[in-house]
Amino acid sequence: MEANRVYNFNPGPALQPLEVLKEAQAEFLNFQGSGESIIEISHRAKEFEAMLNQAKTDIKDLMGLGDDYDVLFLQGGASTQFAMIPMNFAGSGKTGNYVLSGSFATKAYQEAELLEIGHVAASSKDRDFRHIPTQEEIQLSDDAAYLHVCYNNTIYGTEYHYIPETGSVPLIADMSSDMLSRPIDFKKFSFIYAGAQKNLGPAGVVVVVARKEFLSNSPKTIPTMLRYDTHAEKNSLYNTPPAFCIYMVGKTAAWLKKQGGLTVIGERNAKKAKLIYDTIDNSDGFYRGHADKDSRSLMNVTFRLPTEALEKQFVEEAKTQQLCGVKGHRSVGGMRASIYNAMPYEGCERLAAFMENFRQANA
Ligand SMILES: *Cc1c(COP(=O)(O)O)cnc(C)c1O
């Protein structure tokens, strides 16, 4: 880590790989010898579309997906996907089925409910979203158009460690906070999406990875910009795309490939998370994890301290150690350490050491 930078544990916007930031800085005035910045160049320029296509190829390579999948770059945040998904894929007598595993999962369901085409297939709300509903808990309705899951629950710190079996019903996943963090059998999903600002780049673009066939049948009544087929047919260039964001996501994907791909990054992420979870588990109850052990997220580690006063003190003292953004979401309270791909192992070591020292001083 550079001397003037901090370890940023914020949930999103989040820490980005230093190499990527430096590369972008070095190229900022002159994109690929064009004499123009990436934010000045026309999105109709051939260099621009080549860059966009390379980003798509790298993302699909990382995910082990072939020609039957497409990658789209959309705007409006993951939150706009919550509305577009039921508009495009449910209705005409079919409902969107949802697993409610946290705040974003619930928000996604509520958008379907506005159209009166939502169905709750499972929920872990009754136990403060501490666990990911199991396969046995998921009850699909007979009229299911799809099952929507939120693969990593950023606020509660839980994550799927299995892929729900849905038979012939398409599986849709919000992977905003864990896309490209570890190898997953992505072929089991018809549609995956992520707001970039957690694990993939800057805020301002949503990455959609979906089966081409699934994207091709938007109902005729949907406004042009809210149709997936509009964006698929025009290679995400129907209107002016978020050029800089796509460029940064492309660089991040190339960086991931250079690291060795999802197997390597997944092992690294598991080691990082283990450092912090072990510190919680070996603290004699001083730290209490929010998530059930079998549902723990490798990306967002949520935990509480014995009192709110100690939690406040923890946040303040952490800052003096270059450890920033560890305050939890108000709906859970306590702490949350977001440790996405870009967080180096040393950042987690430093946090774990700080936690141990803090406990010894305050237990
Ligand atoms: C952050 C987040 C969202 C919301 O993303 P926006 O881009 O702010 O709309 C949705 N789902 C998950 C899992 C998230 O972590």
Q: What is the CATH number of the domain that holds 309?
A: 3.90.1150.10
Instruction: Tell me how far apart the alpha carbons of residues 337 and 104 are, in angstroms, rounded to a whole number.
Output: 18
- By DSSP bridging, strand 335-338 and strand 300-304 are antiparallel
Residue 5 lies in a domain: no
Residue 207 lies in a domain: yes
Task: Let me know whether 229 and 349 are in one domain.
Answer: no
pLDDT above 80: residue 3: no
Domain limits for position 271: 261-362
Mean pLDDT on 125-143: 97
pLDDT tens string 244-275:
999 999 999 999 999 999 999 999 999 999 99
Measured from the CB, is residue 297 less than 6 Å from ligand 1? no
* Strand segments (E) across the chain: 7-8, 69-74, 95-100, 118-123, 144-150, 152-153, 158-159, 171-174, 191-195, 206-211, 288-289, 300-304, 323-324, 335-338
Predicted confidence at residue 264, as pLDDT, reads 98
Contacts with 124 (C-beta within 8 Å, 6 or more apart), sequence order:
100, 101, 130, 131, 132, 133
Measured from the CB, is residue 12 less than 6 Å from ligand 1? yes
Unique residue bearing structure tokens 């970039």: 196
pLDDT tens string 145-204:
999 999 999 999 999 999 999 999 999 999 999 999 999 999 999 999 999 999 999 999
Task: Let me know whether 43 and 99 are in one domain.
Answer: yes
Task: Let me know whether 177 and 294 are in one domain.
Answer: no
The tokens describing 270, both together, are 């598991």
Task: Let me know whether 235 and 253 are in one domain.
Answer: yes
How many distinct structural domains can be found in the chain? 2
Instruction: Tell me how far apart the alpha carbons of residues 106 and 214 are, in angstroms, rounded to a whole number.
Output: 23
Task: Let me know whether 89 and 159 are in one domain.
Answer: yes
pLDDT tens string 273-330:
999 999 999 999 999 999 999 999 999 999 999 999 999 999 999 999 999 999 999 9
Measured from the CB, is residue 209 less than 6 Å from ligand 1? no
pLDDT tens string 51-73:
999 999 999 999 999 999 999 99
Predicted confidence at residue 217, as pLDDT, reads 85
Task: Let me know whether 265 and 255 are in one domain.
Answer: no
Measured from the CB, is residue 174 less than 6 Å from ligand 1? yes
Task: Let me know whether 275 and 341 are in one domain.
Answer: yes
Measured from the CB, is residue 177 less than 6 Å from ligand 1? yes
Task: Let me know whether 326 and 251 are in one domain.
Answer: no
363 CA from centroid of ligand 1 (Å)? 35
- By DSSP bridging, strand 191-195 and strand 171-174 are parallel
- Kindly list the distances between the CA atom of residue 81 and the CA atoms of 119, 175, 191, 218, 358, in Å, as whole numbers in the listed order: 17, 12, 11, 14, 41
- Kindly list the distances between the CA atom of residue 326 and the CA atoms of 10, 154, 212, in Å, as whole numbers in the listed order: 7, 13, 39
Probe target for ligand 1 pocket from 177, 297, 329, 331, with the most ligand atoms within 8 Å of CB? 177
Residue nearest to ligand 1 atom 7, measured at CA = 77
Measured from the CB, is residue 181 less than 6 Å from ligand 1? no
Task: Let me know whether 28 and 131 are in one domain.
Answer: yes
Task: Let me know whether 267 and 241 are in one domain.
Answer: no
Mean pLDDT of the chain: 97
Unique residue bearing structure tokens 């990382």: 62
Residue nearest to ligand 1 atom 2, measured at CA = 176
Contact predicate 209/222, CB 8 Å: no
Closest CA to 217 of 95, 115, 91: 91
